[in-house]
Amino acid sequence: MNEEIMRLNERIAEESRFVEDMRAEFSKVIVGQKLLIDRLIIGLLANGHVLLEGVPGIAKTLSVQTLANIVQAEFQRIQFTPDLLPADIVGTLVYNQAKGTFTTKQGPIFANIILADEINRAPAKVQSALLEAMQERQVTIGEETFPLPNPFMVLATQNPIEQQGTYPLPEAQVDRFLLKVIVEYPEREEEREVMRIHGKIQPPRASATVKPEDIVKARATVRDIYVDEKIESYILDLVFATRKPSQYGLDELEELIQYGASPRATLYLRSCAQARAFMQHRGYVTPEDVRTIAMDVLRHRVIPTYEAEAEEITSEDIVRKVLGAVEVP
């Protein structure tokens, strides 16, 4: 390790201390769910949005609220329903009859952390309004354009077990999410602890340990984390193996992949790997950083064919085969 990387390593070790404080505060409220908590922090550090999928009652909403409390961030929860309008999210112009003028009323999107609860319950026009704000980091109301706060992060939830009255997100829109995280049931002993902690009269609440400006500063530091050329090649191999699997000895996947991962996957694999290295207090990325977050970056970007669906082969199965086949540096 050369001297420059050693100095960077020392700087990252110092500047990333607050991550342990964040984890400690999360553990006061959320029992288990380590993967979910780590992905929320990675999303925050990598300046991306996160899609959470899981059955009701497994602490998705509570985790997002806890994150906002820890970061001292302005938090807004938007409950998506079939009758929601784009103006309900971004805001609208209100006519003042006395003055004969229009004034701008900003919507709940103007906050640091947005919880888009059950995003697949709202029609396409509403989803598009939210996703445009996510992409552009600004909102146009009438003839005026307003920048969104910094940091700005959308955490959307969707329920996989209900299909009636839902509007599934199109693949192109899902691609705008940095990560798609599948939230699982807790273990038996974890659920026992949940029962004890949240059965009290005063449920625990996380304390603020960092400020929004600390997150903005940390994001700049994360981008400084060293990524070796071999790691970059590994990231490219993983992405290109989803597009041209036969070149990587994965001939059986040729008929199973309709569309491979987009170039966003390459960018996001790198930034998420850097964020994970930061969380591990390292100034450089390892192959393990890439492998750890690869499933959450790729699962919603690899589109299986009808043949794959007929054989009950999912995008996750395809990503696992790619991870198993591509040589690790």
Q: Which two tokens stand for residue 147?
A: 């920048």
Residues 188 and 128 in one domain: yes
3-state secondary structure of 62: helix
Nearest-angstrom CA–CA distance, 113 and 136: 16
Closest of 186, 158, 176, 169 to residue 43, by C-alpha: 176
Residues 114 and 246 in one domain: no
| Residue labelled with tokens 């603020």 | 208
pLDDT greater at residue 200 or residue 28: 28
Can you tell me the mean pLDDT for 8-31?
85
Choose the final residue of a domain: 166, 196, 218.
218
> What is the per-residue pLDDT across 99-123, written as a single tens digit (0 to 9) for each?
777 778 888 999 999 998 888 888 7
Choose the final residue of a domain: 160, 190, 218.
218
Confidence check: pLDDT of 165 > 70:
no
At residue 319, the pLDDT reads 92
> For the domain that residue 179 is a member of, what is the CATH number?
3.40.50.300
The length of the chain in residues reads 329
Residues 58 and 27 in one domain: yes
Cis peptide bond N-terminal to 151, omega within 30:
yes
> What is the per-residue pLDDT across 304-319, written as a single tens digit (0 to 9) for each?
989 888 888 888 999 9
Residues 46 and 139 in one domain: yes
Residues 208 and 261 in one domain: no
Confidence check: pLDDT of 1 > 60:
no
- The domain of 46 spans 16-218
Q: Which two tokens stand for residue 161?
A: 């077990």
- Name the amino acid, one letter, at 227: V
Closest of 232, 87, 70 to residue 78, by C-alpha: 87
Can you tell me the mean pLDDT for 81-92?
86
> What is the per-residue pLDDT across 238-282, written as a single tens digit (0 to 9) for each?
999 999 998 888 888 888 888 899 899 999 999 999 999 999 988
Rounded to two decimals, what is the model's pTM?
A: 0.87
Q: What are the C-alpha distances in Å from 63 to residues 12, 75, 142? A: 26, 12, 35
Alpha helices, H only, the chain? 3-15, 18-29, 34-45, 60-70, 86-90, 124-136, 171-174, 188-197, 212-222, 229-243, 263-279, 287-298, 306-310, 315-325
Q: Which two tokens stand for residue 67?
A: 């994150």
3-state secondary structure of 87: helix
Residues 234 and 196 in one domain: no
Choose the final residue of a domain: 162, 187, 218.
218
Residues 125 and 244 in one domain: no
Confidence check: pLDDT of 201 > 80:
no
Q: Are strands 303-304 and 257-259 parallel, antiparallel or unpaired?
A: antiparallel
